Amino acid sequence: MMVSRSESVRIALLAFLGCMLTLAPRAHAQSSSDEGWFGAKTAAAEAPVSLPAAPTDLVHVHITASGSLQFYVDRASVSVEPGQTVRYTLVGKTPNGPSNITFEGINCVTRQWKLYALWNDVSKQWVKATSSEWQRIPESGATRVHSTLYRDDFCLNQSVRGSAADLVRRIELGLHAPSSLSN
């Protein structure tokens, strides 16, 4: 059987692509950096979750949308984790109603947030979220607080803006805090 030159080139090209597709994922998986294909940042494996103490030292989160629900972050709970993730306790308060207290994380690389646990005020302890996946942070809506924390306080250019103390200071300063506080 005779194979034309164009068919030979096509077969060689397909064989080459097949080899690259089987070898490339292994080569990438062995890399210890947080860079993916073409230098794009990828999310690192998530660090184990340690639940914080009950919130006691609240810092008001300044949100542009007006409403009766006010948000606060517990100063002592803010932590910077591997993979450009910030963890914090968020407290939502209404003027005359109960508080909603959650322990959450924001991933600066992927612009996502995750619920880790809810505070049970009756038993005075955290209840881990049964099923919590990372969720995209929208610009508006019920999770506007996540957008504000992501954009104004925690993240810049897919990286955490600094240490936990730097992030708390940004929240204290309010909306559009100077970028000189970022590291």
Number of domains in the chain: 2
CA–CA gap between residue 119 and residue 74 (Å, rounded) = 13
88 with 162, same domain: the answer is yes
Contact 39, 57 (CB under 8 A): no
Report the pLDDT value the prediction gives residue 83, as an integer from 0 to 100: 87
Domain that holds residue 145: 58-181
Report the pLDDT value the prediction gives residue 144, as an integer from 0 to 100: 86
78 with 8, same domain: the answer is no
Report the pLDDT value the prediction gives residue 25, as an integer from 0 to 100: 36
CA–CA gap between residue 103 and residue 77 (Å, rounded) = 9
Report the pLDDT value the prediction gives residue 7, as an integer from 0 to 100: 53
**SS3 category, 145:** helix
One digit per residue, the tens of pLDDT, for the chain of length 183 reads 565 554 543 444 334 333 333 333 333 333 334 444 444 444 557 889 999 999 999 999 988 666 778 999 999 999 999 989 999 999 999 888 788 999 999 999 999 999 999 999 999 999 999 988 999 998 777 668 999 999 999 999 999 999 999 999 999 998 565 555 544
Asked if residue 14 is part of any domain, the answer here is yes
